[in-house]
Amino acid sequence: MIKKLLLVICISFTTYTSNAYQSIFGQDSTTWTILGEILDGADTYEYKTFTGLDTINGLVYHEVYFNSSLTGYIREDTVSGKVWYLTGTPQSENLIMDLSLQLNDTFMVYTPSMDSTPAVVNNVFIQNGLKHIEFNIGVFCINQSVYMTFIESIGPNCGIIYQQQPNANYSFQLLCKYTDSTQVYSNTDFNGNCYLFLTGIKEFTKQQNHIFPLPAKSDEWLNVLNETDAVESVNLYDSFGNFIRKYDSGQFIINVPAGVYFIQTINRSHNRSVSKLVVIN
């Protein structure tokens, strides 16, 4: 009887640990260097956690430091693969990574206009033994050709602060990550450089959609133009991130009830951009 009980305990423990994702935190310290947009350029920002933990509302967080100053708090659940970032006064917590998402699931993010918009999972894969969740948009990364991706043990490839509303007017991209002073990730888009200062980064600026008329009226023609290239297709989502329908050009009749929607354009260069759409009666 004792042997059977021990066997059950061992099986349960094995099942539990095998389902856990690798932690984003090191034992002593964790550092993310993030390329952040500035006026006509980009600069590097370093965010770091140490062994110190804080309990807030019954939840355990790692303190996050920027330039030696406490700037926020971050916590994770390695079973679900979820990571949250807490900052601001009053305090606001946002989910920044979720490795439990499946193909075609949606994840709500803040756009540069500080509205909430859906990102749709278009790829789930294992690379270098780590799970990756790739989305269909790259509007939150400095390099527009890069899709937003959650990486096991690393974090979002847009950096850990991309969901914070005070920063939502800017784009970010993870350059490097260090775990206990050992570099475990580098961004190949920038030749592995962990600290950069760029000027005149026209090639990394946000794409803009031009929609008219706006607000739009239901059952009338809508025109969607992209400043970079011709629009090949448009995906329409409701305000909760649910996919509604696809249009095969940038000109179509919008036939939906009055409300707030999001449109994702895919242009001839295969770049994607998301914009808010208001439809009235």
Question: Domain holding 250: CATH number?
Answer: 2.60.40.1220
Note whether 215 and 251 are same-domain residues.
Answer: yes
Q: Which of 22-26, 60-64, 198-202 has the lowest mean pLDDT?
A: 198-202
Note whether 172 and 108 are same-domain residues.
Answer: yes
Q: Give the whole-number percent of the chain exceeding pLDDT 70.
A: 78
Q: Which amino acid is at 35?
A: L
Res 112 pLDDT > 60: no
Would you state the pLDDT for residue 90?
A: 66
Report if residue 9 sits inside a domain. no
Mean pLDDT score, 83-95: 84
The first and second tokens of residue 137, run together, are: 């948009």
Note whether 220 and 127 are same-domain residues.
Answer: no
Would you state the pLDDT for residue 18?
A: 47
Say if pTM beats, i.e. exceeds, 0.95.
no
Domain closes at, from 204, 236, 256: 204
Q: What's the mean per-residue pLDDT of the chain?
A: 81
Would you state the pLDDT for residue 8?
A: 38
Q: Which amino acid is at 236?
A: L
Tell me the residue range of the domain where 245 lies. Answer: 209-280
Mean pLDDT score, 125-131: 96
Note whether 196 and 222 are same-domain residues.
Answer: no
Integer Cα distance of 51 and 28 in angstroms: 5
Mean pLDDT score, 128-150: 82
Would you state the pLDDT for residue 31?
A: 97
The pLDDT tens digits of the residues spanning 224-241 come to 987 777 888 888 877 666
Residue 59: band (very low, low, confident or very high) from pLDDT cuts 50, 70, 90: very high
Would you state the pLDDT for residue 260?
A: 81
What residues contact 52, with CB distance under 8 A and at least 6 apart? 62, 63
Who has greater pLDDT, 192 or 168? Answer: 192
Mean pLDDT score, 99-123: 83
Q: Which amino acid is at 45?
A: Y
Report if residue 1 sits inside a domain. no
Cis omega (within 30 of 0) on the bond before 156? no
Res 186 pLDDT > 90: yes
Q: What single DSSP character describes residue 25? A: -
Would you state the pLDDT for residue 200?
A: 54
275 bridge partner residues: 263
Integer Cα distance of 19 and 22 in angstroms: 10
Report if residue 28 sits inside a domain. yes
Res 72 pLDDT > 60: yes
Would you state the pLDDT for residue 13?
A: 37
Q: Which residues of 190-203 are buried (b: 16+ CB within 10 A; e: fewer)?
A: beeebebebeeeee
Mean pLDDT score, 6-13: 38
Total domains in the fold of the chain: 2
Would you state the pLDDT for residue 63?
A: 95
Would you state the pLDDT for residue 70?
A: 92
Q: Which of 72-76, 201-205, 224-228 has the lowest mean pLDDT?
A: 201-205
Report if residue 170 sits inside a domain. yes
Residue 276 CB burial class (10 angstroms; 0-12, 13-18, ≥19)? middle
Q: What is the DSSP string of 129-174?
A: TEEEEEES--TTSSSTTSPPEEETTTEETT-TTTT-GGGTTS-EEE
Note whether 175 and 238 are same-domain residues.
Answer: no
The pLDDT tens digits of the residues spanning 23-46 come to 999 999 999 999 887 656 778 899
Q: 254-259 contacts: CB < 8 A, separation 24 or more? A: 254/216, 254/217, 254/218, 254/219, 254/220, 254/221, 254/222, 254/279, 255/218, 255/219, 256/218, 257/218, 258/218
